[in-house]
């Protein structure tokens, strides 16, 4: 990929830009970014990452890859603006819930559409990126996109039918994990810690746990059992979580997020 065009300069676009610039496979000046109205945001991104602000969506015309990074509810309007400037580019959508078929219809049958669900850690090259492409995307085009994304984290190719599920636990995952950490930090403060000091230990605990799960190839329940001695501290805490239904609440939260992704897809693509 030589030239990228990013439609939408919000937080996901910035995480992606940060990672891709750090990866160093594309000259930041060849990353063109367009917003709807907030021009000052483009100036910021130019200052921080060296990207080129695009004055209009017409800049998409001479790009190899067009990234859709607008909110799902803005997608159909954005595609209407983009459509006259499309030819052979590969389109990569970040949008939660929006099916490939809706993008295809809104672009007059564009064949090269890839749907992804990245998450914010792509900014530090530790992202989880679910990706799905229809058979109309030739393997070599898909491989080039996967190669670029692989520098930003773990890429997993899935069927499109699983995309709303990936959105729920992986796209929204950093938010859910942060919510758990909010509670743990509050507990640490209640027990006498300064928040910053507690956060140092908490963040490292998450990083360390993730590394152990991966490097020892353990399931989360195996690791939990290993660190839970009978009548010990972890056991005491987990018993409270069990009695308060935390496990079921988390399952329900992820399921609700998946349903919401699906609802958004229906709500925001009605006109397509």
Ligand X SMILES: NC(=O)c1ccc[n+]([C@@H]2O[C@H](COP(=O)([O-])OP(=O)(O)OC[C@H]3O[C@@H](n4cnc5c(N)ncnc54)[C@H](OP(=O)(O)O)[C@@H]3O)[C@@H](O)[C@H]2O)c1
Q: Does 209 bind ligand X (CB under 6 A)?
A: no
Among 17, 65, 69, 258, interactor with ligand X by CB under 6 A: 69
| Residue among 66, 73, 59, 137 nearest 102 (CA) | 73
Among 5, 32, 94, 169, interactor with ligand X by CB under 6 A: 94
Least Cβ distance, residue 197 to ligand X (angstroms): 27
**CB contact at 8 A, 130 and 163:** yes
Q: Does 120 bind ligand X (CB under 6 A)?
A: yes
**CB contact at 8 A, 202 and 181:** yes
26-57 exposure pattern, b = at least 16 Cβ within 10 A, e = fewer: bebeebbbbbeeeeebbeebbeebebbbbeeb
| Of 16 and 112, CB closest to ligand X | 16
Least Cβ distance, residue 133 to ligand X (angstroms): 17
| Stretch binding ligand X (CB under 6 A), from 46-54, 89-97, 141-149, 212-220 | 89-97
Residue nearest to ligand X (CB): 10
| Stretch binding ligand X (CB under 6 A), from 43-51, 71-79, 143-151, 236-244 | 71-79
List strands edge to edge, sheet with 127-132: 52-53, 31-34, 4-7, 65-68, 90-93, 113-117, 127-132, 153-157
Which residue do the tokens 């942060």 mark? Answer: 178
| Stretch binding ligand X (CB under 6 A), from 24-32, 115-123, 141-149, 229-237 | 115-123
* Residue 137 DSSP code: S
Among 30, 44, 53, 71, interactor with ligand X by CB under 6 A: 71
Among 23, 30, 81, 105, interactor with ligand X by CB under 6 A: 81
Instruction: Give the sign of the dihedral formed by CA 40, CA 42, CA 46, CA 48.
Output: positive
Coil, strand or helix at 109: coil
Radius of gyration of the chain (CA): 21
- 3-62: contacts with ligand X (CB under 6 A): 7-13, 34-38
For ligand X, how many residues bind (rule: CB under 6 A)? Answer: 28
Binding positions for ligand X, rule: CB under 6 A: 7-13, 34-38, 69-72, 74, 77-78, 81, 94-96, 117-120, 171
């Amino acid at each position: 990929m030589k030239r990228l065009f990013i439609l939408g300069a919000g937080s996901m676009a910035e995480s992606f830009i940060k990672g891709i610039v750090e990866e160093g496979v594309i000259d930041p000046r060849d990353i063109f970014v367009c917003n709807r109205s907030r021009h000052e945001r483009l100036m910021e991104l130019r200052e921080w990452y060296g990207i080129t602000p695009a004055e209009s969506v017409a800049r998409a015309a001479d790009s190899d890859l067009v990234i859709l990074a607008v909110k799902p509810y803005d997608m159909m309007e954005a595609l209407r603006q983009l459509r006259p400037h499309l030819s052979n580019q590969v389109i990569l959508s970040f949008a939660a819930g929006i099916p490939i078929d809706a993008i295809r219809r809104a672009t007059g049958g564009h064949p090269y559409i890839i749907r992804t669900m990245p998450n914010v850690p792509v900014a530090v090259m530790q992202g989880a990126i679910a990706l799905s492409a229809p058979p109309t995307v030739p393997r070599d085009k898909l491989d080039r996109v996967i190669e670029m994304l692989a520098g930003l984290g773990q890429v997993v190719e899935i069927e499109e039918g699983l995309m709303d599920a990936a959105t729920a636990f992986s796209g929204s995952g950093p938010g859910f994990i942060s919510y758990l950490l909010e509670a743990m930090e509050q507990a640490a403060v209640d027990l006498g810690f300064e928040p910053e000091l507690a956060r140092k230990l908490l963040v490292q605990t998450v990083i360390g746990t993730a590394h152990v799960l991966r490097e020892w190839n353990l399931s989360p329940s195996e690791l939990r059992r290993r660190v839970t001695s009978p009548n010990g501290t972890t056991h005491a805490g987990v018993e409270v979580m069990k009695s308060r239904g935390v496990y079921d609440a988390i399952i329900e939260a992820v399921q609700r997020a998946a349903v919401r992704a699906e609802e958004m897809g229906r709500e925001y693509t009605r006109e397509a």
